[in-house]
Chains A and B, each alone.
Chain A
Amino acid sequence: MNVVKTLDDLMCVRNAAVAFSESNHPAESVEIKISMATCGIAAGAREVNNYLAALTKREQIPVNIVQTGCMGYCYAEPTIEVTLPGGEPVVFGFVNNAKVDNIVTHYIRKGVMPEDAVWIKDKVQTGTDSSPRQLHIALRNCGHIDPENIDDYIKADGYLALGKTVTQMTPDQVIKIIMDSGLRGRGGGGFPTGLKWQITRKVEASRKYVVCNADEGDPGAFMDRSILEGDPHTVIEAMVINGYCTGADRGLVYIRAEYPLAIERLKVAMRQAREYGFLGERIFGTDFSFDIEIRYGAGAFVCGEETALIHSMEGKRGEATVKPPFPSESGYNGFPTNVNNVETYANIPAIILKGAEWFGRIGTGKSKGTKVFALAGKINKVGLVEVPMGTTLREVIFQIGGGIKDGKKFKAVQTGGPSGGCLTEKHLDLPIDYDNLLAAGSMMGSGGMIVMDEDDCMVAMAQFYLDFSVEESCGKCTPCRIGNKRLHEILQKITSGVGEESDLERLRNLAIVIKDTALCGLGQTSPNPVLSTMNNFYDEYIAHVRNQACPAHQCRKLTQYFIDPEKCTGCTLCSRSCSVDAIKGERKTPHVIDPILCVRCGTCFDKCKFNAVYVH
């Protein structure tokens, strides 16, 4: 393989790649893509892949099986996408070996949809119309290309933006495009990306660094992992462009050690990029050189904060420091350092190729482009979605997400992770963008979106997030170290049924002070789950402290399970499934729950077929 030295070289590589795949996979072959991200593999995608490969080989069906990254339909893993020659792609979910048999026998052989197939009919828009559907920019290649094959990426216009940038444009021109596009940081804060690049560019220093923040720590957010697993080259390409613009010749990817697959695919991609000359000396034959190293996180949420991240990369405790100085002025080892997150980078090549104007047309006034959300919780279609800014919560949750699981009632949606807040029914028609979410008492954060239903207690939810913030606080500043602990303790008191009304005032006052005085962005936002639930679900707090009751029946100390003797048939299912033997009763006679032994796990409630178990 010769190193790519010009744009023409790149075109040659691309044409050769197209020709190669055409010669290997004749027009009559069936294209099958298997979603092989962490969640797909955990659900059994590897077994499906092996079975499918063996089956089609045995039956001599001409196929082109591609292992891709996440397709976004996490709820239905393992998923495969089948494209018959000349046909439209069809996505099948919950695939196992038996389903593979049916898909091959009925769909691939005869073009008939098998009866038991779970056929996912969502279709992602690729145009610019603002229909309430998905629009994939950052995820444009995820689920489509083989992340371990650089040629696949090049076929999808990969490294074209880099080629154009370094051979035809000045750094200022590129920065101007990014600025004009209105792209803002997708990691949480929403700082204008172009401005950040410009600041780093303007600082004079003997060395500069470009960092990719892949320390995705928000519980319930997994878009960065999906991008790195599904399209690692786009991140590499964007980092090189960033290096060119800011004057850095070194890049560092700070990635969670909990993401072994993403790390592996990134390493493969880096190796390939070096072989092709997209990393290393004299990129595209110019004087510009750039290379990337990987640094691993070690399980500290706070390292998503950029100053903490930099200390961690320096081999220190990941404690945040007061800004200014900003990393753009003084970062890694004291050198100017431009930190962007994975999703932000994933937008860059597309913006450069399609232009600032194209990007600027998508989204709302101050929030341009799209945002990837990890939809999770009590929602039917858990998955990864990318929608234009300005899409409403209702569209995301009820149209794309398929509504609430088990026909339950929507109660709240939590955005922004531990830094965000809970939004309610009244916010459902709010167009999602940075400023609207902030005004509603939440924040964009990295894009986790956890949906809650009527069974979720909002006080317990706030406690859950505080538990997280307490555990993950770096411990440097007083408000976060001790304040969050005390917030958590007050919440614990309330959910245990010993809270008093005066606790609510103490809770709010403390939350406000922490927000006002904590050192870093994480500490300042950690009380948000408390404040937003207090603002939107105050009646639930009141119920806990005034009546010692949990309206959602979630707080165990405020909950008791009973068996209605009228309804109980004595089938013994509950007593057999009770793990603490708290349910007593003879066969065919009504059973009774011993409230002392009962741990309120709710298994009997779920198990009973006669609705005889009720909760108070």
Chain B
Amino acid sequence: MKTIKLIINRKELEVPAGTTILEAARSIGVRIPTLCHMKLEDLHYENNPGACRICVVEVEGRRNLAPACKTECTDGLVVKTYTPRVMNARRIIMELILSNHPFECLTCSKNGHCELQTVAHDLGIREVRYSGEQSVFPIDRSPSIVRNVNKCIMCRRCETMCNSIQTVGALTAVNRGFQAVVSTAFEKDMKGSICSYCGQCVSICPVNALSGRSNQQEVLDALDNPDKIVIAQTAPAVRVALGRDFGFEPGTLVTGKMVSALRNLGFDYVFDTDFAADLTIMEEGTELLQRLTGYLHGEKKEKIPLMTSCCPGWVNFVEKHYPELTGNLSTAKSPQQMFGSIIKSYFADKLGVEREKIVVVSIMPCLAKKYEAGRQEFSVNGNPDVDISIYTRELARLIRYANINFEELPDGEFDQPFGESTGAAVIFGTTGGVIEAACRTAYELYTKKPLEHIEIEALRGMEGIRSGVIDFDGLPVRIGIAHGLGNARKLIEEVKNGTSPYHAIEIMACPGGCIGGGGQPFHRGNMEVLRRRASSLYQVDKGKNIRKSHENPAIIRLYKEYLGEPCGPLSHQLLHTHYFDRKNTVGILNETNKEE
């Protein structure tokens, strides 16, 4: 490969052709500040509009300053990254951004995690010499996401994410000039838009223009209410990410500390959503086998491929973009909802209390889970199965709020009976995990033989679209996997066109799966963070004695004592759901409409 020789800050270096000044500088430890630029190479995400101009550097012989993120190195280039001219320019650009940014850092939920704050601090901004009109936009509070466009710095990361990666198309740059901002169609609220609440925009927003809806106060109120039994459930991906907000290395497993923290917060029971993940596998795995058998016997009504439905962002996406394919979604509820359902029926019975007395709080890596918990079909007489859903960062905030020294906490254990889970459940947190877990169970249920290779390598990895054929004792079951809604769209287009080769498809809305969820501690463009979270989950799986959902003794007991059999009548009532057509359409105006 051709290489390029250049000089950065008097240091000579050699880089491959095509390297930008920014990458070259980073390779020798020279940090150039950036705001709009973000690259997540494994996910093929690159936002590089060259728009913020904070990364400008001086290039010898060039008339104006060069944006380091967009300027490719050429032979003999002489670059200086911190001359007075450069620093003056960067400071003024930062002051300009700040002159149109609300000065509420101390009360901002992004305080301490804000990239704008960091860069301003590094540049040593002590006053903003430019001031004037500021943008005024209303704040949009959807069930999952809060948009405060007044804080938008037009980095366009969310636009790239929402359009190029997720292909949702809810966010776009609107207006022109000083009024230009990233917003929704007609600048309306997200509620009712085609947004799927995947929350990826939130996870990469450098400031607090996009944030998760906070339900912190409701949790505190419930915990403070002596009449309520407050029950926590924690999703698999939370335990490998939460530590990041307390200074732990990326991917550090903090299950024990998390359980202790929840207990200290005052939760009456701390359960594991992993238990419900095992339950999901029982239902979804059975459903897969039923559909597959029917399909192979020529039953036309069996919708194949079966598409997983654990991911609420994905379910929203299907309902809003491909409502004609909701029939392919597994009717099994997501683990969060199965959990709520079981707690408020089986467990309430066990405790001998009304369901209204119980408050189920889920801790999720996800923002769409908030919306999911609020869906009408997931409530009984107005009482939701899951009362409150909070996300990982929100839990971290709660822990700090309650003066809990997380770092020093002893390791706690989940409460029983819903603390028991298998290795299959924990890998739900990463892309490919759900379908791998389902295959472990479906294989054994179908073939009645023990699975030899528990780790199905063919289904693992970070490629956006993957596929594998699992030999079910002579029956080749073809599996498709996609993470990120853009990749999902490719698979679902095949389904729509009738060209999909798969029997089952696992989809996670977020790139990387739940480990990269919109509610997780910020990775700030560091791909390594996601990789370590995934590898941690696989380590947990490896360390478990029981690694198949159907072998979970608590699950076996639940079916025996209460549910009967997977996909049986009670299961259907409690653990399965149905979907809606939520596509936006323009109706034809007629007299009756006019009268309305």
Chain A interface (Cβ within 8 Å of chain B)? 300, 317, 319, 321-322, 324, 470-479, 481-483, 485-486, 489, 506, 509-510, 513, 515-519, 524
Contact = CB atoms under 8 A, between A and B. Distances in A.
B173 interface: yes
Interface stretch (B47-55, B292-300, B385-393): B47-55
B175 A477 contact: no
A483 B72 CA distance: 26
Given A322-B70, A509-B92, A517-B89, A474 B130 contact: no
B391 to A, nearest CB: 31
B17 interface: no
6 contacts: A472-B176, A482-B97, A506-B130, A516-B89, A517-B64, A519-B50
Given A474-B177, A478-B93, A486 B132 contact: yes
Contacts of B97: 478, 482
B93 A479 contact: yes
Shortest Cβ-Cβ A-B pairs, 8 listed: A475-B180, A489-B132, A473-B177, A482-B96, A322-B50, A322-B70, A513-B92, A486-B130
Contacts of B53: 477-479, 517-519
Interface string B42-61: 00000001111110100000
A158 B130 CA distance: 56
B176 to A, nearest CB: 5
B164 to A, nearest CB: 13
Given A513-B89, A517-B64, A481 B154 contact: yes
B146 to A, nearest CB: 23
A317 to B, nearest CB: 6
Given A322-B70, A517-B53, 17 more contacts: A319-B173, A322-B67, A473-B176, A474-B180, A475-B173, A475-B175, A475-B177, A475-B178, A475-B179, A478-B53, A478-B96, A481-B154, A483-B96, A510-B130, A513-B89, A516-B64, A517-B89
Contact of A515 (B64, B99, B178): B64
A482 B178 contact: yes
A452 B175 CA distance: 34
Contacts of A517: 53, 56, 64-65, 89, 93
A30 B198 CA distance: 77
A222 to B, nearest CB: 24
Nearest to A472: B177
A317 B173 CA distance: 9
Contact of B154 (A470, A475, A506): A475
Interface string B161-188: 0000000000001011111100000000
A475 B133 CA distance: 15
Given A482-B97, A489-B133, A516 B65 contact: yes
Contacts of B50: 321-322, 477, 519
Given A513-B88, A513-B92, A482 B65 contact: no
Contacts of B34: none
A554 to B, nearest CB: 23
A485 B133 CA distance: 8
A466 to B, nearest CB: 12
A301 B64 CA distance: 23
Nearest to A474: B176
Contacts of A479: 53, 93, 96
Interface in B58-90: 64-65, 67, 70, 72, 85, 88-89
A355 B246 CA distance: 75
Contacts of B449: none
Contacts of A524: 64
B100 to A, nearest CB: 5
Task: State the majority secondary structure of interface residues on A.
Answer: helix
B448 interface: no
B2 interface: no
Task: State the majority secondary structure of interface residues on B.
Answer: loop
Contacts of B175: 475
B129 interface: yes
Interface of B: 49-54, 56, 64-65, 67, 70, 72, 85, 88-89, 92-93, 96-97, 99-100, 129-133, 153-154, 173, 175-180
A476 B180 contact: yes
A244 to B, nearest CB: 32
A485 to B, nearest CB: 5
A482 B88 CA distance: 16
Nearest to A476: B51
Contacts of A474: 176-177, 180
A514 to B, nearest CB: 9
Nearest to B67: A322
A463 to B, nearest CB: 14
A319 B54 CA distance: 19
A317 B65 CA distance: 26
B331 to A, nearest CB: 41
A482 B133 CA distance: 10
A476 B133 CA distance: 18
A527 to B, nearest CB: 12
Nearest to B50: A322
Contacts of A471: 177
A513 B54 CA distance: 12
Given A476-B51, A486-B96, A513-B89, A481 B173 contact: no
Contact of A478 (B51, B88, B133): B51
A509 B88 contact: yes
A509 B49 CA distance: 25
B175 to A, nearest CB: 7
Nearest to A493: B132
A565 B306 CA distance: 94
A524 B100 CA distance: 21
A483 B95 CA distance: 10
Given A485-B132, A486-B132, A513-B89, A300 B176 contact: yes
Contacts of B88: 509, 513
Given A472-B177, A506-B129, A516-B89, A477 B52 contact: yes
Contacts of B52: 477-478
Nearest to A502: B129
Given A482-B97, A513-B88, A475 B176 contact: yes
A471, A509, A517, A518 interface centre (most CB from chain B within 10 Å): A517
A510 B177 contact: no
B528 to A, nearest CB: 28
A470 B130 CA distance: 16
Nearest to B48: A322
A510 B96 CA distance: 9
Given A473-B178, A478-B97, A482-B97, A519 B51 contact: yes
B178 A470 contact: yes
A52 B48 CA distance: 62
A486 B93 CA distance: 11
B96 to A, nearest CB: 4
B173 A478 contact: no
Nearest to B54: A478
B284 to A, nearest CB: 42
Contacts of B72: 324
A322 B50 CA distance: 7
Contacts of A473: 176-178, 180
A481 B177 contact: yes
Given A322-B50, A486-B96, A519-B50, A481 B180 contact: yes
A506 B92 CA distance: 10
Nearest to B173: A317
Contacts of A475: 154, 173, 175-180
Contacts of B154: 475-476, 478, 481
A398 B96 CA distance: 43
A485 B53 CA distance: 16
A486 B95 CA distance: 11
B17 to A, nearest CB: 14
Contacts of B49: 321, 476
B69 to A, nearest CB: 9
Contacts of B179: 475
Contact of B92 (A321, A322, A489, A510): A510
